[in-house]
């Protein structure tokens, strides 16, 4: 039987509407500052979409663009100004940063109370300790997709493929907090296919086009595809060979239209959470 398709666009639209409705009850508009350094084409698209979504939710949003030649000191000075600005509730510095700027130094400079990416060590620690405050947007969105699809992590064997700070590691922490039995697999894992086959919930976040094959998926498993890879022909594919996997899985997210829309919706929710906590 073909897998149920988890409609991330619909779940994200509902969350965005809920965030906009909650924001409308506040006596002020939540403020989001998005910082883009350089001209990375994918980052420009992401940043434009984030600003558009923030405005649509009634937020006060500004995008600050620095040239690729900007120094780390200039970026840190900008962050210090945004940290002090009472109208700014959330600060997001789009990654990757140009060579010569240390992303960890930049992330550490952001006020943890305004860290809507959830990347600051204080927020990473809070998540690891089971007392989360601001949680990275993409894994947060995956948890909401699972909930919307009626898939309970409790007691389930979950496999996270990928160990990035942005997705894999926080994803594993969230699944563990939800009582899943969590394995993290990565490029050095022996027999990736066998590890994947054991999973009841399989989260692919490696950034390798169509790496997860149909015979890596256990019949009836839930497959969440975080990958967004551009093909030579200009199309978008995930980290999962979709048609093959959908023939075996119980539920699956498409690319596009799965996890992607949830990331932005969760960024808006994080900004609302930061705003409500600050003022
Ligand atoms: N680049 C790719 N994903 C992300 C993200 O979630 N946040 C930021 N700041 N940059 C990214």
Q: CA–CA distance from 111 to each of 47, 89, 163 (Å)? A: 20, 10, 25
Supply the mean pLDDT for the chain. 97
Per-residue model confidence as pLDDT tens digits over 200-236: 999 999 999 999 999 999 999 999 999 999 999 999 9
**Is any atom of ligand 1 closer than 6 Å to the C-beta of 270?**
no
* Residues 108-143 pLDDT 10s: 999 999 999 999 999 999 999 999 999 999 999 999
Inside any domain, residue 181? yes
Cβ neighbours for 28, distance < 8 A, ≥ 6 positions apart: 275, 279
pLDDT number for residue 207: 96
Residue 228 lies in a domain: yes
The pLDDT value recorded for residue 201 is 99
pLDDT score of 235? 93
Helix (H, G, I), strand (E, B) or coil at 52: helix
Tell how far the Cα of 238 is from the centroid of ligand 1, in angstroms: 17
| Residue nearest atom 9 in ligand 1 by C-alpha distance | 94
The tens digit of pLDDT for each residue in 158-192 reads 999 999 999 999 999 999 999 999 999 999 999 99
- 162 marked as part of a ligand binding site: yes
- For the chain, the straight-line distance linking the first and the last C-alpha, in angstroms and rounded, comes to 51
CATH number at residue 201: 3.40.50.720
Instruction: Based on the fold, state whether residues 210 and 246 are members of the same structural domain.
Output: yes
On whether both 102 and 147 belong to a single domain, the answer is no
Q: What is the CATH number of the domain that holds 44?
A: 3.40.50.10860
Residues 154/179, Cβ–Cβ less than 8 Å: yes
Q: In which band, very low, low, confident or very high, does the pLDDT at 279 lie, cut at 50, 70 and 90?
A: confident
Q: Are residues 247 and 144 in the same domain?
A: yes
The ipTM is 0.96
Centroid of ligand 1 to alpha carbon of 46 (angstroms): 8
Domain interval for residue 222: 136-259
155 and 244 in a single domain? The answer is yes
Q: Which residue has the higher pLDDT, 1 or 117?
A: 117
State the number of CA atoms in the 13 A half-sphere of 95 facing the CB.
12
Active site positions, annotated: 50, 94, 117
CA of 12 to the centre of ligand 1 (A): 17
Q: For ligand 1, is residue 137 a contact (CB within 6 Å)? A: yes
199 Rama class: left (phi>0) / alpha (psi -120 to 50) / beta: beta
Pocket probe mutation, ligand 1, options 95, 110, 118, max atoms within 8 Å of Cβ = 95
Asked whether residue 125 is assigned to any structural domain, the reply reads no
Is 15 within a domain? no
Q: Give dist(CA 137, CA 118) in Å, integer.
A: 8
Cα 189 from chain centre: 23
- Binding residue per annotation — 164? yes
Query: What are the pLDDT digits (tens) for 17-45?
Result: 999 999 999 999 999 999 999 999 999 99
Closest residue by Cα to residue 79 from 98, 118, 105: 105
**Residue 204 sits in the same domain as residue 246:** yes
Residue 118 lies in a domain: no
Do residues 77 and 105 make contact, with C-beta atoms less than 8 angstroms apart? no
| pLDDT attached to residue 60 | 98
């Amino acid at each position: 039987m073909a897998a149920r398709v988890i409609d991330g666009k619909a779940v994200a639209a509902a969350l965005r509407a809920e965030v906009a409705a909650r924001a409308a009850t506040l006596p002020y508009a939540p403020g989001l500052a998005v910082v883009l350094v350089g001209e990375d084409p994918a980052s420009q698209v992401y940043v434009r979409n984030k600003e558009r979504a923030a405005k649509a939710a009634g937020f006060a949003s500004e995008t600050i663009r620095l040239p690729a030649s900007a120094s780390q000191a200039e970026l840190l000075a900008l962050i210090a100004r945004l940290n002090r600005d009472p109208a700014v509730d959330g600060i997001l510095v789009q990654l990757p940063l140009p060579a010569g700027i240390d992303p960890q130094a930049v992330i550490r400079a952001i006020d943890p109370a305004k860290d809507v990416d959830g990347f600051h060590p204080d927020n990473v620690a809070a998540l690891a300790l089971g007392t989360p405050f601001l949680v990275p947007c993409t894994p947060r969105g995956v948890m909401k997709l699972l909930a919307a699809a009626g898939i309970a992590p409790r007691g389930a064997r979950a496999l996270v493929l990928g160990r990035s700070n942005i997705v894999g590691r926080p994803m594993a922490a969230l699944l563990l907090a939800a009582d899943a039995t969590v394995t993290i697999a990565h490029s050095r894992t022996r027999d990736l296919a066998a590890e994947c086959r054991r999973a009841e919930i399989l989260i692919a976040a490696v950034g390798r086009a169509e790496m997860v094959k149909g015979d890596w998926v256990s019949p009836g498993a839930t497959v969440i595809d975080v990958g967004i890879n551009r093909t030579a022909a200009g199309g978008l594919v995930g980290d999962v060979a979709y048609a093959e996997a959908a023939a075996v899985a119980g539920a699956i997210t498409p690319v596009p239209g799965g996890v992607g829309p949830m990331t932005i919706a969760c960024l808006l929710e994080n900004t609302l959470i930061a705003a409500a906590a600050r003022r």
